[in-house]
Structure 1
Amino acid sequence: MKSFEVSERKLAESSRYLAGGVASSLRAAMKPTPLFVSSGAGSRVRDVDGNEYIDYLLAYGPLILGHAHPVLTAKVHEAMQQGYTYGLQHDGEIRLARRLTEMWPSADKVALSGSGTEAVMVALRLARAHTGKTKIVRFHGHFHGWSDAIFTSFPSPDMKLAETSGETDEVRPGTSGQSRSSLQEVILLPWNDPEALENVLRARHAEIAAVITEPVMCNNGCIAPKPGYFERMRELTAELGIVLIFDEVITGFRFGPGGAQERLGIVPDLTTMGKAMAGGIALSAVVGKLEIMNLIDRGTVNHLGTLNGNCIATAAALATIEELTLDDGAAFREMEQNAIRLADGLRILLRKHGLRGVVNRTGPVFHLMFIERDEVTTFEEFAERDAGMYAKFAELMLNEGVLVRPSGLWYLSSVHTEEDVTLTLASADRALSVLTAINRKD
């Protein structure tokens, strides 16, 4: 068994000064204790107790090039020599914006910001200003940041909040202290249900400004859209004068140079992106059609932010994009192949140990869940998973030297190797053996 004594001691110290003891509430879910890290390199991270892990958490997604990537580090260091941020314009903004318009099907123009939450806020304002309408359709199980106007109760082991599913008139806040009135403009629908979507859009299109959706429901089950679902969504929103927003904060720069929209062949009106975009440096963006983005040009929609487009973030994004697109995107192909190997191997191990479970994979992202089903294709089905059992598995994997998110979502980076996958599967074999023994005792 690994020792976490120093992490536990540092958590006690941190809790004296830092609210919650951690800088993001999400991190408190880790068992047996939130880890404190001393360093990271490549696909590995080392904690303050000297334990090393193969990392599939990847800082909750951004580290698509792994830890301390030498090219990214060098480019950021080079940019820092010229100053961190100016509050003025610089060439890096132009170069990055031009690059994004070249890569992304939906990008005529770009607005840069600092986080996925901020990007969603900008996109919603643009949609409302463009249409003159106020209502926003969003879906159960999707996550669009934690601003008051869009953060609804989010049922996952990480967030530890009550579950909701199915269509309902009640939209519950995602946290205490959130303004309930701010959610009055949100219409919450089941995802992957084209009939429910069409019924609402046709009945209420005169008040609906936008539909916002993840292209793949990554956080809750890594559930892919059903065939024809997005095609119908695109047809309806175009017909009824509703802005279609793809939230590609997770899928962007993971599913290919042009995100999930390129893979799916669907061009939304606006797209939000972040996380992997700058390889771990804080940066996000909204890209979209000219007639909508020009609302910022004209000053109709204010786009504010002290650190928007700063030199460090734009340098990091340009370096990350360059690395990912080398050799005609070889990094994307390698990430996906390793994800396939790992997901297939975990499915084999579940059968070996007589455990019911599902591994949903799309691109280099997958969700492992313990559930009495052969497949999971809806949020309602995903809600049946044994979240406690997976959290125990994640704890066992930590002792095996593999860092995974307690919710079941796994990310792969461009620097994970076949050897990493082999070692991870051997660790999972041992962890599942222990988990099976624990279940028998219970």
Structure 2
Amino acid sequence: MTRSTARSEALFARAQRTIAGGVSSDARRMPGVPLFVDHAHGAELWDVDGNRYIDYVLGQGPNLLGHAAPEVQEAVTMQVTRGITYAAQHELEAEAAELICEMVPCAELVRFNSVGSEAVHAALRLARGHTGRAKVIKFEGNYHGWLDPVLYSVHPDPEAAGSPQALRAVPGSAGQTPHGSDELILLPHNDLDAVRSAFAAHGSEIAAVIVEPFLCNTGAIMPVPGFLEGLRELTTAHGSVLIFDEIISGFRVAPGGAQELLGVTPDLAAFGKAMAGGMQVSALAGSREVMNSITDGTVAHAGTFNSHPVAMAAAVAVLRTLHEQRESIYPPMIHRGEQLMAELRAAGQAAGVPLLVEGTGAVFQTYLTEADTVRNYRDFVATDRAGMARLHQRLFDRGVSIVPRGLWFLSTEHTDDLLAETLEAVAAALPGLQEEENG
């Protein structure tokens, strides 16, 4: 199918003259011309050429209540009239922190940042400062932001990364320091035996274990039974800090995040995305014992735009809505998502395409694979990622926008009619998908 792209092409040419690569985040690079949005509302967006899309990207996850949610519009508009930024305290940040402490199991104290990478960086510094140790266990395929200390082995070349029994840390970018990974212990995701071995060898040196409890940056991978529970037991036994990176899962999969959904409470957790309806807010939350190392000034944490009043107004509006209306928000949204997942499986079967669909109704992944599950990065690499890229393009051409690697986010605004329209596009996109590869 052919979309009009003349205006997008002109804007891309213009952007390339003054913006490196024509985009301001590598995540926005696309084959050909990137998406230039004109406006968005609910679960739909329109590009500058007038093409309409049912949106399952939702700003990479933040728009749980849909684009331009009325609650967010009202809160942001009201705060802008009162001032943009103060470099001082204000009531909204206290209200947001109180809501997080009511909603999130691990939250006794909170600090705010602007983006997820900052919150994760703060968590790691805090864990090291609190324990007086340096080493951190990180899992292959987990993404914890683009900053140097953790940008290792997110989606590495398996040959460069070594075998699962002896993983090598692969930097994600040129320009990272040669020894930046010296204090990282890199392990396979969902492998508790590997974690036990690491603690047996280095237990007194390990400051923290950091993990995406629901791994959404490499597929949509749930923890195998006992994995998170085992991490909790091992970190407690060895005096290490357990950190959950809930930048994606927080407030999306449940009001209290993956830790509520899965029943395991970490010492620290990083949040972002879904907590502010698209505004730039992240949070570090954790136990009073660990967070007190910030309270007493042992560990430094600062930022001009931390607790930005306009962003915090959005956060309060969204968090209050999710907290007070949880029963009318989460069950219906998750039910529709699960219904869509089931229909996608059926569409794949009808088209003779091996389409695996895993995750939750709030966020899930489609894979092209004959495997019956995906448990870690190596399983993810074994799927047909080139075929998924083709499926993404076919859906995009038919007015359905998903994250290119196959991730789908749901919002409260994805109606039954939009799901039906989506499935029509999927049914049209699947036939011949694998023949295209062979051709």
Residue 164 of structure 1: CA displacement?
6.3
Match of 1:188 in 2: 186
Q: What residue number does 2:7 align with?
A: 6
What residue in structure 2 maps to residue 37 of structure 1? 37
Quote the residue 1:145 is aligned against. Answer: 145
2:71 matched to which residue of 1? 71
Q: Deviations over 1:383-405 (max 9, x none)?
A: 10111111111111111111111
In structure 2, give the amino acid aligned to 1:76: V
* 2:166 corresponds to which of 161, 165, 168: 168
Letter in 2 for 1:219: N
1:354 aligned residue: 352
Between the aligned partners of 1:65 and 1:27, the Cα distance in structure 2 is: 22
2:236 match: secondary structure:
helix
1:261 counterpart letter in structure 2: Q
Aligned twin of 1:236: 234
CA distance in 2, matches of 1:353, 1:209: 49
**Alpha-carbon shift at residue 350 of structure 1 (Å):** 0.8
SS in structure 2 of the partner of residue 433 of structure 1: coil
What corresponds to 1:403 in structure 2? Answer: 401
- Retained in 2: the 8 A contact 1:273–1:286? yes
1:373 and 2:371 equivalent? yes
Give 3-state SS (helix, strand or coil) of 2:248's partner.
coil
Asked whether the 8 Å contact 2:143–2:154 carries over to 1, the reply is yes
Check if 1:135 corresponds to 2:135: yes
Aligned letter for 1:136? V
Tell me the equivalent position of 1:199.
197
1:32–1:350 CA distance, 2 compared to 1 (3 A) = farther
Query: Please, which runs of 5 or more residues in structure 2 have no aligned partner?
Result: none
Query: Which AA in structure 1 matches 2:302?
Result: L
Paired with 2:227 and 2:143, the residues of 1 have a C-alpha distance of 19
1:255 maps to amino acid:
V
**CA separation of 1:75/1:325 partners in 2, compared to 1, >3 Å: closer, same or farther?**
same
1:108 deviation in Å? 0.8
User: Hey, what's the Cα distance between the residues in 2 that align with 1:107 and 1:438?
Assistant: 50
Which residue does 2:250 correspond to in 1? 252
Gaps of 5+ in 1: none
Which of the numbers 299, 303, 306 marks the counterpart of 1:305?
303
Question: Cα 1:164–1:367, aligned 2, differ >3 Å: closer, same or farther?
Answer: farther
Counterpart contact for 1:167–1:188, Cα < 8 Å: no
Q: Which residue of 2 aligns with 1:266?
A: 264
Deviation at 1:160, TM superposition (A): 13
Read off the aligned partner of 2:228 and give its amino acid letter: F
Deviations 1:244-265 (A, max 9, x none): 0000000001011111101111
SS in structure 2 opposite 1:345?
helix
- 1:291-325 Cα shifts (integer Å, max 9, x gaps): 11111111111111000001111110111112223
State the Cα RMSD in Å.
1.7
Q: Contact between 2:255 and 2:326, CA under 8 Å: does it hold in 1?
A: no
**CA–CA separation in structure 2 for the residues paired with 1:435 and 1:182:** 42
1:236 to 1:207, Cα distance in 2 relative to 1, 3 A: same
Supply the distance in 2 between the matched residues of 1:39 and 1:398 (Cα, whole angstroms): 17
Cα 1:15–1:221 shift into 2, 3 Å: same
Structure-2 separation of matches of 1:164 and 1:27: 29
Are residue 215 (structure 1) and residue 220 (structure 2) matched? Answer: no
Alignment of 1:404-423 (within 5 A): 404-423=402-421
Deviations 1:198-241 (CA, angstroms, capped at 9, x unpaired): 11112101111000001111111211111111111111110111
How high is the sequence identity, in percent, across the aligned residues?
A: 42
List aligned pairs for 1:326-341, cutoff 5 A.
Answer: 326-341=324-339
Q: Give the structure 1 partner of residue 18 of structure 2.
A: 17
Work out whether residues 402 and 424 of structure 1, in 8 Å CA contact, stay in contact via their aligned partners in 2.
yes
Note if 1:84 corresponds to 2:81: no
Q: CA deviation at 1:168?
A: 3.0
Cα distance, 1:276–1:162 mapped onto 2, change above 3 Å:
farther
Q: Do the aligned partners of residues 262 and 35 (structure 1) sit closer, same or farther apart at CA in structure 2, a change above 3 Å counting?
A: same
- Return the TM-score normalized by structure 2: 0.96
What residue number does 1:343 align with? Answer: 341
Where 1:181 maps in the other structure, the secondary structure is coil
Equivalent residue in structure 1 for 2:290, among 279, 287, 292: 292
After TM superposition, give the deviation of residue 166 of structure 1 in Å.
1.8
Distance verdict in 2 for CA 1:165–1:18, change over 3 Å: farther
Paired amino acid for 1:104: V
Q: Which residue of 2 aligns with 1:108?
A: 108
